[in-house]
Structure 1
Amino acid sequence: MTAPRPAAPAARPDRRAVLGLAVLALPTLLLSVDMSVLYLALPHLAADLDPTGPQLLWAVDAYGFMVAGFLVTMGTLGDRVGRRRLLLIGAAAFGAASAAAAFAPTVEFLIATRALMGVAGATLMPSTLGLIGGMFPDPRHRAAAIAVWSACFMGGTALGPVVGGVLLHWFWWGSVFLLGVPVMALLLVCGPLLLPEQRADHPGRLDLASVALSLAAVLPVVHGLKTLADGHAPAVPLLTAAAGLAAGALFVRRQLRLADPLLDLRLFRAPGFGAALAVMAGGALAMGGTFLLISQYFQLVAGYPPLTAGLWLLPPSLAMVAATLAAPPLAARVGRASVIGGGMFVTAAGFAVLALAPAQDGAPAVMAGLLLASVGLGPGAALVADIVVGSAPPERAGAAASLSETSGELGIALGIALIGSLSAAVYRAGVTVPEGVPEAAGSTLAQAVDVARSLPDATAAALLGPAREAFTDGLNLAGGAGAVGMALFGAALVLLRTPAKPAGPDESAAPPGSVRVNEPVPDA
């Protein structure tokens, strides 16, 4: 009996598609850098604009909340009006908002421009991933292209503090936003030349009521949780969050009844689709909030200048990029679920190290914990994005990409809000403000460091010692919670993974274009 011939290798991807991927990778990197680029700039921003504690958090996460709130709308809009067209419109708006944020005269103006950057960023994220799905129809090439895209997305979040540290060494805090101007200008020039236009053949109308309900579902829940964690009376925050959940229920109900829904819930019927989104959100939540604390730890607890603090974060950033790029060939050998679940256990080990890091001479332990967490989360990001995009029909690629981005962006934003607010509560409970020192020092460590500059050495030491210990307690709490959460995620994937046996005729049935979570990925 003649042995079966090996599958013929796929033809090389089109050169224009490869150049187009490079064009799409750059704004993706920038957009994720903007999620975390303010981390090291917070002490400088606090000294210049004198924000309150909640204002400081809003300056950081207003961008992420608006991205998350508008992603579903923009993903569907791109399917209907054209992904390239929406990408170019968003690029122009993002560049203009970035320039405005760089020269913000007040913290309120900065928060507003960060929100505008978020709305513009929401047009870019699903368009880039949706375009990649159409530019690389071969599954092997698509897996490799999405790994590159994911490396930019995940690596950009990690590189944000590094970029911020380099810029803050030479320039003022507003310079961290000016990166967006030349990058978006390059996209506006090269996009029409290298990117194809993609849209649905029979687009429906955009339901504005669904747009309003999607925003009403996301923003009140986040605001309520933030306010509750900031130590306010629980009645109003809980009512606010409950109102958001009610709006979410109305949103889902409306989508099920519309002929042209804003969010096609049939996408969740594809095997592994919902689980992939949950993994993306959980990992992003843990990493987003922890990165905020780690960036401040190196600068405010360890006492490093911005450039040195940024360089401490460089090895984990490079490790995350390398792990993300290695995901497709590794999954081809052992399966997606094994790679994602194993990565969760590695991430849990990293967070466990963070839970034990001390305030005194703890920088090596913090860097080691972050290194492990970055290596563990990188592969899952690439594989989850490929599962989501591969599960959707081509005409819904933008909507599917928006769901992937929503889970990741909302996870990061919620992580910043929840972990940042909870660690702030731990700080306020643990810090001791010496007599005669302004009470503002008990609000955040950044304010304590700023107040200490004008105090006698002995008084400054009496303030900063307990303040740094209290801040580290918050980081330890975040690390412990992250370790438990990632271990539970990993265990769930191990227990619920697809059985490693050949599928029978009935088992193999799946919606066209769907991708199983544990299906090996062919080598690119």
Structure 2
Amino acid sequence: MSVTPTIDATTWKRAGKREWWGLAVLVLPTLLLALDMTVLHLAAPHLSADLKPTSSQLLWILDIYGFMIAGFLITMGTLGDRIGRRRLLLVGAFAFGVASVMAAFANSANMLILTRALLGIAGATLMPSTLSLIRNMFQVDSQRTLAITIWMTGFIVGSAIGPLVGGLMLEFFWWGAVFLLGVPVMLLLLIAGPLLLPEFRDEQAGRLDLVSALLCVATFLLVIYGIKSSARDGLSLLALLVSLSGLAVGWLFVRRQRLIAQPMFDLGLFANRAFSVSVVAMLLTILALSGAWLLIFQYLQGVVGLTPLQAGLVMLPSALVQTAASLLVPRMARWLKPSVLVSCGLLLAVMGFVALMLVSGRATVGLLVLGTVIMGAGVMPMMILGTDLVISSAPPEKAGTAAATSETAAELGMALGIAVIGTVGASVYRRQMTDSLPAGLSSEQYEVAVDTLGGALGVIEQLAPEAASQVLLSVQMAFSEALHVNAFIGALIMATTAVLTAVCLRQVRLGASSH
């Protein structure tokens, strides 16, 4: 039977052992999804040699997973509110496990694209379900903040170990093995979930409005596709038209929600300042980080010359400090208001961006690591308390919708960061390379070197030692300049977000909105 918890303070109760064990179960798919987002990029060369995809097919193999997650998050969040969050989580876990096996044994590029799309749709059921169940299982503010901290730590650990796990698996197994990581995790979730996780749903919700669901999915698929196309190939008329079409469909979705008696998505959630400001602040924070992180791993591998596994090891200190910082947030939240803790953390992150502006060549790799450590520690209050404010400011029966909105903001922020700030960095790199490349290159070599970092490194391998060293120096200077510009933009966005949260959340306290 489903239970719809009330918001009467007399019904609050502290979470017991069952809830904490249930949280451990919920962290597993979260860790797996974070790991799955990074591990495939390492496997790309191996699967390319086996399946021989075209360049277009390879891009779809890499991108379709994120497209589907972003496109289906809101729809799956609201579906969970209607049919039950545990039920949706278990259905999604089963689908994710089956799709993982299909992807592992895909024998063509098109089959892998299809299975990656199914993985993305299944992944979209897992994200809002885990977070909304935490909202219902942990009713006491301090316990809920700690639970969200542990949940967020799953993301950090998954992202950090992705390159390491992927590198080790590819050392001993074929590329499909990276997909099989999900099978035992989903089996454990299917076994333990019914025993440890309670069921929650909105008993007052009507049937899912399929028209609204289609409009919602189309909105995000079109917008994300247009943004990613612009990031990959530069701004084009087609990418612009696709993005504008997505915005037009989004307008129809919003209009329909205002007109129908039982809307799929409750736009009234945005009337709550804690909810709306936290969603915007999370989007801006991820946007700023994505623009810098886009270049950091390229810098370590292309400029410094590290392998993917070595680059992952170099980034481990950042993940470890992030984990430690995240565990401090619940304690600090007992004494400091969210506006103070979040804004101070974001200002600390600005200092991390400043450190990146000083990076130049191999000699300053330590400074790059320091910058990422400071950035990672600084954004943790925003990511934890912002998520807490988003789901706690919504009524318990709308927790799935609120959780999906939070995740969608993060996905949009990531896509915009890569597209907008990434495009600026790419243009800076091209301008610097145009001004600094030595004479003596063929016209084809010149165009390839100016276009991308990878292309420039390929050209260097073709040159004599003296010419290669000159081009490498140009590459290091140009890419360092691109990193500096992206870091500067990220610092401005992060500082703006710090001011936004300090001003707009100053009257907000954890739990105040929902209690």
Deviation, 1:125, is 0.5
Cα deviation, 1:290-345, whole Å, max 9, x if unaligned, reads: 33322232222211223221111111011112212211221221111111111111
Cα deviation, 1:341-370, whole Å, max 9, x if unaligned, reads: 111111111112223311343321211111
Match of 1:125 in 2: 127
Matches within 5 A, 1:79-478: 79-102=81-104, 110-168=112-170, 170-171=172-173, 174-230=176-232, 232=234, 234-431=236-433, 434-435=441-442, 437=445, 443-449=451-457, 457=465, 461=469, 464-478=472-486
Question: In structure 2, what is the Cα distance between the partners aligned to 1:104 and 1:471?
Answer: 37
Deviation, 1:151, is 2.0
Contact 2:75 2:217 in 1 (8 A): no
Contact 1:27 1:183 in 2 (8 A): yes
Cα deviation, 1:38-73, whole Å, max 9, x if unaligned, reads: 455566667777778776665444322321211110
Question: In structure 1, what is the Cα distance between the partners aligned to 2:110 and 2:492?
Answer: 37
**Partner letter of residue 75 of structure 2?**
T
**Partner letter of residue 275 of structure 1?**
V
Question: In structure 1, what is the Cα distance between the partners aligned to 2:431 and 2:114?
Answer: 31
Question: In structure 1, what is the Cα distance between the partners aligned to 2:469 and 2:32?
Answer: 39
Question: In structure 2, what is the Cα distance between the partners aligned to 1:39 and 1:258?
Answer: 43
Question: In structure 1, what is the Cα distance between the partners aligned to 2:222 and 2:216?
Answer: 11
Question: In structure 2, what is the Cα distance between the partners aligned to 1:113 and 1:363?
Answer: 38
Contact 2:338 2:505 in 1 (8 A): no
Contact 1:168 1:307 in 2 (8 A): no
Give the structure with the higher percent helix.
2
TM-score under structure 2 length normalisation: 0.86
Contact 1:99 1:178 in 2 (8 A): yes
Q: What secondary structure is seen at the aligned counterpart in 2 of 1:131?
A: helix
**Partner letter of residue 298 of structure 2?**
Q
Whether 1:496 and 2:504 are equivalent positions in the alignment is yes
Deviation, 1:143, is 1.7
Cα deviation, 1:114-151, whole Å, max 9, x if unaligned, reads: 33222111000010011111111222221211111122
Question: In structure 2, what is the Cα distance between the partners aligned to 1:96 and 1:205?
Answer: 27
Deviation, 1:205, is 1.2
Cα deviation, 1:217-237, whole Å, max 9, x if unaligned, reads: 222223333334445564333
What RMSD in Å do the two structures reach over aligned CA positions?
Answer: 3.2
Question: In structure 2, what is the Cα distance between the partners aligned to 1:444 and 1:52?
Answer: 19
Deviates more, 1:169-178 or 1:385-394: 169-178
Match of 2:488 in 1: 480
Q: What secondary structure is seen at the aligned counterpart in 2 of 1:407?
A: helix
Match of 1:68 in 2: 70
Contact 2:394 2:514 in 1 (8 A): no
Question: In structure 2, what is the Cα distance between the partners aligned to 1:156 and 1:97?
Answer: 20
**Partner letter of residue 278 of structure 1?**
V
Deviates more, 1:455-464 or 1:243-252: 455-464
Aligned in 2, Cα 1:232/1:411: closer, same or farther, shift over 3 Å? closer
Aligned in 2, Cα 1:389/1:371: closer, same or farther, shift over 3 Å? same
Aligned in 2, Cα 1:107/1:373: closer, same or farther, shift over 3 Å? farther
**Structure 1: runs of 5+ lacking an equivalent:** 1-9, 501-507, 517-524
**Partner letter of residue 72 of structure 1?**
I
**Structure 2: runs of 5+ lacking an equivalent:** 1-11
Deviates more, 1:434-443 or 1:46-55: 46-55
Q: State the identity as a percent.
A: 47
**Partner letter of residue 491 of structure 2?**
A
Question: In structure 1, what is the Cα distance between the partners aligned to 2:212 and 2:268?
Answer: 16
TM-score under structure 1 length normalisation: 0.85
**Partner letter of residue 513 of structure 2?**
S
Contact 2:100 2:115 in 1 (8 A): yes
Contact 2:357 2:483 in 1 (8 A): yes
Cα deviation, 1:374-415, whole Å, max 9, x if unaligned, reads: 001112111111111111222111111111111122222333
Cα deviation, 1:270-300, whole Å, max 9, x if unaligned, reads: 2311001011111122223433322232222
Contact 1:46 1:446 in 2 (8 A): no
Question: In structure 2, what is the Cα distance between the partners aligned to 1:71 and 1:105?
Answer: 29
Deviation, 1:268, is 1.6
Deviation, 1:240, is 2.2
Cα deviation, 1:404-427, whole Å, max 9, x if unaligned, reads: 111122222333344444444444
Aligned in 2, Cα 1:332/1:405: closer, same or farther, shift over 3 Å? same
Aligned in 2, Cα 1:108/1:372: closer, same or farther, shift over 3 Å? farther
**Partner letter of residue 479 of structure 2?**
F
Contact 1:72 1:399 in 2 (8 A): yes
Aligned in 2, Cα 1:68/1:340: closer, same or farther, shift over 3 Å? same
Aligned in 2, Cα 1:494/1:190: closer, same or farther, shift over 3 Å? same
